[in-house]
């Protein structure tokens, strides 16, 4: 796809069979992240809060993608797997014929907002910040 200036232009340029899934993601993310600014970064439409892109989406040749901050995906990895999806460190790809369930998209977006600096804590990600650091140190040699 070519570079787009805003979400509407991106959606209009996306392959027609991807547009309903992408519009749905935009609606869900807009509703879940009302304080976010809609932006286009790295040629993908995204949602930015206080300078941090907390969620974005994209269309590729055969699939769509939802991209979030890594802690959000880590905190919800079991739910993602239970829904039949595989996550990378920062995203989930899916077929437009089998989209990510709405409630899971909303939970992931809230968790990603919670991971952003100054984003507040979400119930599913607050434990990630409290995880103790390893007590070992690198040997002096």
State how far the alpha carbon of 89 is from the alpha carbons of 6, 54, 70, 108, 126, in Å: 26, 14, 6, 13, 18
Q: Residues 48-62: pLDDT tens digits? A: 999 999 999 999 999
Report whether pLDDT(129) > 50: no
pLDDT score for 140: 61
- Name the percent of the chain lying above pLDDT 70: 82
Q: Which helix (H) or strand (E) holds 104?
A: helix 102-115
Q: Map out the domains of the chain as residue ranges.
A: 7-122
pLDDT score for 132: 47
Burial of 1 (0-12, 13-18, 19+ CB in 10 A): middle
Compute the distance between CA of residue 106 and CA of residue 130 in angstroms, rounded to an integer.
23
Look up the CATH architecture of domain 7-122: Alpha-Beta Complex (3.90)
Radius of gyration, CA atoms only, the chain: 16
Select the more confidently predicted residue: 117 or 69: 69
């Amino acid at each position: 796809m070519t570079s787009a200036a805003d979400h509407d232009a991106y959606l209009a340029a996306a392959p027609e069979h991807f547009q309903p899934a992408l519009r749905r993601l935009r609606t869900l993310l807009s509703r879940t992240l009302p304080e976010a600014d809609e932006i286009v970064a790295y040629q993908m439409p995204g949602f930015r809060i206080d300078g941090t892109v907390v969620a974005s989406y994209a269309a590729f040749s055969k699939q769509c993608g939802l991209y979030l901050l890594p802690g959000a995906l880590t905190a919800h990895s079991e739910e993602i797997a239970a829904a039949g999806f595989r996550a990378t460190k920062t995203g989930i790809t899916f077929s437009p014929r089998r989209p990510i369930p709405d409630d899971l998209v909303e939970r992931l977006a809230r968790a990603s907002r919670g991971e952003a600096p100054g984003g507040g804590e979400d119930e599913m990600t607050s434990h990630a910040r409290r995880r103790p650091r390893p007590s070992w140190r690198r040997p002096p040699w």
